[in-house]
Structure 1
């Protein structure tokens, strides 16, 4: 099974793809979709909604290319957290909408995970920092070259989703044995 993890962001949308064979995880690819810098941001030149729409369209096109190229079987996205800057939270939510939409357009069901759940699965601690997440991704995917912190987070999301899918599969198998 091939799993895509997505770390949503308006400037940098991280993505990571792993293959899962039983309990073995292997790295396939990772990267970062960048939207045009300084476009559609509060206080920047051209910060109107048309520029924001172009940034979202750019993220959509780039993420669509990733799915076309790597054909994942499953996808997962990190939930956004609400911070004190309501405008930034809203814009992040719009980028998250792209992260949910593109896999859905490819017929994939999209898992959603809180940041603490991802960290707990990958690191063992729900309040791990980015350095710890990066380190544990490298431990679980030996030899991986990570494109940046957003890609490391996306790979962590993919790993988290793979573990949850495996657990759900084991539960379903146990239920079939119990009933059948």
Structure 2
């Protein structure tokens, strides 16, 4: 399974791809989509186009996107929300399921605390994915979103596997 993590922004959007096999995460690629100066619709179109190229190249099966947080101003929050919308539409338009996580959830999943700073995220992403150097800030955030989703899915898979085991034991009369 390949997970595309996205850290949306109205000036730059981070992306990161990991492959998940069991409990192992393998780095595939990451980077930053630098958006042109100019009207917001043109920047949103660039997010959409660029993510479609990334999807074409890497064929992710799932995506994880950071939810909008309260920005410095209402205008910033609206722009961020629109950038996030362009990213989500690029994925769902290609039938890629999208999971959404808050920044706190992502930080907690990767660093262990929801109050982690950017450097801590970069450091843990480097360690978890066995990278030679820390990825750029926005790319690290996107990779962290992908790792968060991989961990969440593994937790759900483990719960389902446990429930199936219990049901099987129940049917055989071994569960008390």
Please give the TM-score of this superposition, normalised by the length of structure 1.
0.89
**Given the alignment of the two structures, is residue 142 of structure 1 paired with residue 130 of structure 2, yes or no?**
yes
SS of 1:142's equivalent?
Answer: coil
SS of 1:9's equivalent?
Answer: coil
* Residue in 2 that maps onto 1:167: 155
* Residue in 1 that maps onto 2:164: 176
**Matched-pair contact (CA < 8 Å) for 2:122–2:136:** no
CA distance in 2, matches of 1:62, 1:144: 26
* Residue in 1 that maps onto 2:58: 70
**Matched-pair contact (CA < 8 Å) for 1:118–1:160:** yes
* Residue in 2 that maps onto 1:57: 45
**Matched-pair contact (CA < 8 Å) for 1:31–1:146:** no
Aligned length: 168
Instruction: Compute the RMSD of aligned alpha carbons.
Output: 1.3
- Correspondent of 2:91 among 103, 120, 138: 103
More deviation, 88-97/99-108: 99-108
**Matched-pair contact (CA < 8 Å) for 2:122–2:135:** no
More deviation, 16-25/144-153: 144-153
Per-residue CA distance 1:5-36 (angstroms, 9 max, x = gap): 00010111100000111111110000111210
Query: Stretches of 4+ moved more than 4 A in 1?
Result: 144-147
Shift of 1:83: 2.7
Superposed, which structure 2 residues align to 1:1-180 within 5 Å?
A: 1-37=1-37, 39=38, 51-143=39-131, 148-180=136-168
Unaligned runs of 5+ in 2: 169-176
Unaligned runs of 5+ in 1: 40-50
